[in-house]
A and B are shown apart, each in its own frame.
Chain A
């Protein structure tokens, strides 16, 4: 209150340059921890085959369900496969499917949100209701319905999660576009005679990028959550993948018999990846949403 000088027009806070935002991020321990965790799994996803000490897919029935020792650091599973190697290689499928689904949802949602926000009116009302309808169902349940109908494969999982994310992202983008829609630069572009697609994608889009980035990082966390859950339920990644959710669905009944090593490491892998992505999302949100 005391800093406002009467007579001067209220100036909007000057936006921090992107470089400063990055520096703030890198100084946040939450962000750094998240990045370290996620980077580790990305490295495993890309180079898992070379990092893993043993063949993750080679079964060895004579040595099934061996507890951890120096030959098999995390023990072996019900088919005698090396759990350590499988946990490393298991990062690949989920870290392919979840980002692709997020990308699909973000691109389609951004386009839809720009159009709906720019044209307002009845388009906005119709899409708004449709978004509410989609949001009335938990992601896993929508996915179960759709995947039971079309059959589960990596491709259909990406499609179903991406399509479900589209209206959610569109809603965020639409809200951001509303705030920009009546600013002078849009009016100037219209007076210059620019076409609507140019104004939407070349003029407005760069200005609404921060909320889109935040939404995408949050969505990525949900996508990983959903892919892992669907794989566990048998509607996601299919055998013989070393995917963690799939591995847990195959081995969780064994833990009552004492084979704890078949579940603990896969569970820890999923938990660390999801928490890592969300730590990043949380700190990015903290920096960009100011």
Chain B
């Protein structure tokens, strides 16, 4: 405090583009390493853990010669490193192997399921992000009072209750008792957009419930911090109308961390899809993984799980990029 305040030098914008590029390149490289490790984990899970693949498929009573023949046919009698290298090089080229259960290439199944899940997830996202942000900001503006308490506790409860519990409750209320909504996500062929949406409301609601709490919580924390900041006090004291203070000063700063959380939750939403898609008979990546796990269809299972890892990592990378673009302060800091 004793030293004279030196005016901060204005930031030179020339080096910024390079810094952003370097930051994103570092993040990209780290993501690639993460993905490689992930592929090793998934391979270990699908190829190593079951031990004898042929035995796992044919069951304990099968003839040893049949098991050996199946292992040879599937290639699972070769050295593990060979298997891994072949699996991952094919995967990168889009060839995800043959499904044990369908005896067909896995790739088209995954692509199809991913498109279905994207539709469901996107719908949930469109509903929950504005809702969660509004709830969080509203709670923050009444911090400490009963509105805040109610939103926080309700958000926490909605977030932590497993999707299958909320799904079953929603089916019981809206599908069985009130009969307002269809309880199957699959709609009759040739259904219009409105009809399709109607079938998707119930499956989307449990996902919305789970993510409302996360997003509201982040939005609330960010808003409380921004409301407390000196620049907000200055804005109020210089007589700006409340709406301007909220929109231009508070929200701009408060919503940055929320964006990151929203993007990271995209990956976790896929975890919830396993239950929701299975319950509502929706042909997405979640129900694909569930059915593959049930049938011990390891190529399908591995491809599905790795695909989810890729989606999650890409979503995280996109969140990083988005945040750097929106927040000039982050451009200076290098990746953790």
Residues on A facing B (Cβ under 8 Å) = 4, 6, 30, 129-130, 132-134, 136-142, 144-150, 221, 225, 228-229, 232-235, 245, 248, 252, 255-256, 258, 260, 263-264, 267, 270-271, 274-275, 277-279, 282
CB contact list, B273-294 vs A, under 8 A: 274-275, 278-279, 289-290, 292-294
**Which of chain A's residues has its CB closest to B313's CB?**
A136
Partner of A233, one of B33, B48, B169, B274: B274
Contacts of B48 in A (CB 8 A): 149
Interface string of B168-194 (1 = CB under 8 A from A): 110110011100000100000000000
For residue B296, give the distance in angstroms from its CB to the closest CB of chain A.
6
B294 touches A234 (CB 8 A): yes
Residue count of chain B within 8 Å CB distance of chain A: 57
Q: Which residue of A lies closest to B264 (CB)?
A: A135
- Closest chain-A Cβ to B17's Cβ sits at a distance in Å of 27
State whether B162 touches A263 (Cβ < 8 A): no
Q: Which of B's residues lie within 8 Å of A, judged by CB?
A: 1-2, 30, 33-35, 37-38, 41-42, 45-46, 48-50, 56, 153, 156-157, 160-165, 168-169, 171-172, 175-177, 183, 267-268, 270-272, 274-275, 278-279, 289-290, 292-294, 296, 298, 301-302, 305, 308-309, 312-313, 316
- The binding surface of chain B is classed by DSSP as helix
A3→B143 CA distance, assembly (Å): 26
Q: How far does the Cβ of A36 sit from chain B's closest Cβ, in whole Å? A: 15
A229-B41 contact in complex given A136-B309, A148-B301, C-beta closer than 8 Å: no
Among candidates B156, B164, B267, B274, residue contacting A144 with C-beta atoms closer than 8 Å: B274
Tell me whether A141 and B270 are in contact in the complex, defined as CB-CB below 8 angstroms, given that A132-B34, A275-B161, A282-B156 are known contacts: yes
Q: Are B172 and A255 in contact (CB under 8 A)?
A: yes
Chain A residues closer than 8 Å to B33, beta-carbon distance: 129
Given the known A-B contacts A133-B41, A233-B290, A267-B169, are A145 and B274 also in contact in the complex, defined by CB atoms under 8 Å?
Answer: no
Whose C-beta in chain A lies nearest to the C-beta of B316? A136
In the complex, what distance in Å separates the CA atom of A148 from the CA atom of B156? 31
Could you write out 17 A-B pairs with CB less than 8 Å apart? A129-B30, A132-B34, A133-B37, A136-B312, A137-B308, A137-B312, A138-B268, A138-B270, A140-B274, A144-B305, A145-B45, A145-B46, A148-B296, A228-B164, A275-B161, A278-B156, A279-B153
Given A30-B153, A255-B176, A278-B160, A139-B271 contact (CB < 8 Å): yes
Residue of B nearest to A126 (CB): B37
Bound together, the chains give a CA A227 to CA B176 distance in angstroms of: 27
A66 to B182, CA, bound (A): 26
Partner of A141, one of B49, B183, B308: B308
Instruction: Give chain B residues whose Cβ lies under 8 Å from the Cβ of A129.
Output: 30, 33-34, 37
Return chain B residues, CB-CB under 8 Å to A150.
49-50
Q: Flag if B268 contacts A232 (CB, 8 Å).
A: no
B160 touches A275 (CB 8 A): yes
User: When chains A and B are docked, how far (Å) is the Cα of A4 from the Cα of B1?
Assistant: 10
Closest A residue by C-beta to B296: A148
Candidates B2, B38, B293, B298; contact of A235 at CB < 8 Å: B293
| Cβ–Cβ contact A145 & B301, under 8 A | yes
Which residue of B168, B270, B309, B312 is within 8 Å of A263 (Cβ)?
B168
- Residues of A within 8 Å of B2, CB to CB, are 6
Q: Does B293 lie within 8 Å of A248, measured CB to CB?
A: no
Tell me the nearest residue of chain B to A146, going by C-beta: B45
Chain A CB within 10 Å, residue with most, of B164, B177, B296: B164
Q: How far does the Cβ of A273 sit from chain B's closest Cβ, in whole Å?
A: 10
- Bound-state CA distance A170–B156 (Å) is 25
Question: Is there contact, CB below 8 Å, between A221 and B160?
Answer: yes
Minimum CB distance partner of B292 in chain A? A148
A185 → chain B, closest Cβ, in Å?
Answer: 27
Q: Provide the bound-state CA to CA distance between A141 and B1, in Å.
A: 54
- Measured CB to CB, the closest approach of chain A to B213, in angstroms, equals 10
Q: Kindly state the separation between the CA atoms of A127 and B45 in the bound complex, as whole angstroms.
A: 19
With beta carbons under 8 angstroms apart, the residue of B161, B168, B305 that contacts A248 is: B168
The answer to whether residues A270 and B162 also contact, given A133-B34, A141-B271, A149-B49 and a CB cut-off of 8 A, is yes
Q: A141-B271, A142-B45, A275-B157 are in contact. List 8 more A-B contacts (CB 8 A).
A: A4-B1, A130-B37, A133-B309, A136-B267, A148-B293, A149-B48, A150-B50, A233-B274
Which residues of chain B are near A263, meaning CB under 8 Å?
Answer: 168, 172
Shortest CB–CB separation between residue B34 and chain A, in angstroms?
5
Question: Please, how many angstroms separate the alpha-carbon atoms of A140 and B274 in the complex?
Answer: 8
